[in-house]
Amino acid sequence: MPTSSGIPDDQLARARLAWISAGQPALSAPRHALPEEPTRSEPGLAAPVADDAASSALGEPAPDPGAALRALPTAGLGILEQALRRRYVVAVLALLLVGLGITMAVLSQSSASQVPLATPPGVETQAPPPAPSSPTPEPVALRVHVLGAVASPGVVSVPEGAIVADALTAAGGLLPDADPAQLNLAARLADGQQVVVGTRERPQGDVRGQPSQPGDGGAETTGKLNLNTASQAQLEELPGVGPVLAGEIIAWRDGNGGFGSVADLQEVSGIGPKTYETLEPLVTV
């Protein structure tokens, strides 16, 4: 039988059954007439629940009370996923900051002290070429004239820094009648000097070759004694020349207007070939 609302009882029963199946509270005892639907103009009034059940029974979809419950896990998963994403982003940013700090620290230390790179195995390191050494200066040879009582009178070569004893050794050594007492055997030699070795009969050894000083009687820078300007005392310093022979040389010089050449000494009385051979390298005109 239809109700006062025009809905058959069997349809209303099916609507109630659907309502209860949806989890809604059971309705009251069956009603044969549904209340009239309140007008929309009255505030605060809602449509009767029976109308909703009836509308679902008439083909309209009924509300699903489990839909909200099924939506809860999905919503919870979304919130959890967002939280995990935030934590992941924070962790990544923290790692980036830590890495940046470590990089800055390493760069500051490397700029303070440069660490040499390790040479890979199998790679030979080339040593820097040695600096060119300055050429060793060659020793300077001194030429010294040695005459008198030596085995090999003449010009000898001795190294720079040599002394008189070295020059005598280079000249073959002393003769048995040599008297080197007047020589300073430790005196250093200079290039162009002359070493005269006296004998026991005429101990007049000397080292010559220094430039002449004003008033020295005419000794030249070569070390040779000028026969035309030498004094009696200077002539007596020559080997083999004593006071008598020095006087003869001066007498011949005064009587002949001087010596024209060293060979004129052979005309002086008392000068034989041997004496001339000794004096010839020591004098000049």
User: Is residue 24 a part of any domain in this protein?
Assistant: yes
Q: Which of 35-49, 132-146, 157-171 has the least mean pLDDT? A: 35-49
Predicted model pTM = 0.32
Q: Which two tokens stand for residue 240?
A: 């083999």
pLDDT at 82: 79
Residue 237: which pLDDT band, with cuts at 50, 70 and 90? Answer: confident
pLDDT at 213: 43
pLDDT at 175: 92
Residue 48: which pLDDT band, with cuts at 50, 70 and 90? Answer: very low
Q: Give me the torsion for CA of 189, 190, 194, 197, rounded to 10°.
A: 0
Residue 55: which pLDDT band, with cuts at 50, 70 and 90? Answer: very low
Q: Are both 259 and 278 inside the same structural domain?
A: yes
The sign one gets for the Cα dihedral 40, 42, 44, 46 is negative
User: Is residue 68 a part of any domain in this protein?
Assistant: no
Q: Name the DSSP class of 174.
A: B
What 3-state DSSP class applies to 71? helix
Q: What's the gap between Cα 205 and its chain centre?
A: 61
**Total residue length of the chain:** 285
Residue 124: which pLDDT band, with cuts at 50, 70 and 90? Answer: low
Q: Are both 229 and 278 inside the same structural domain?
A: yes
- Report the CATH number at residue 242: 1.10.150.320
User: Is residue 121 a part of any domain in this protein?
Assistant: no
Among the three residues 174, 209, 244, which one is the final residue of a domain in this structure? 209
Q: Which residue has the tokens 């008198």?
A: 148
Alpha carbons 228 and 211: distance in angstroms, whole number: 18
Q: How many domains does the chain have?
A: 3
User: Is residue 74 a part of any domain in this protein?
Assistant: no
User: Is residue 156 a part of any domain in this protein?
Assistant: yes
User: Is residue 115 a part of any domain in this protein?
Assistant: no
181 has pLDDT over 90: no
pLDDT at 67: 55
Alpha carbons 158 and 189: distance in angstroms, whole number: 9
Q: Which two tokens stand for residue 145?
A: 């004239």
219 has pLDDT over 50: no
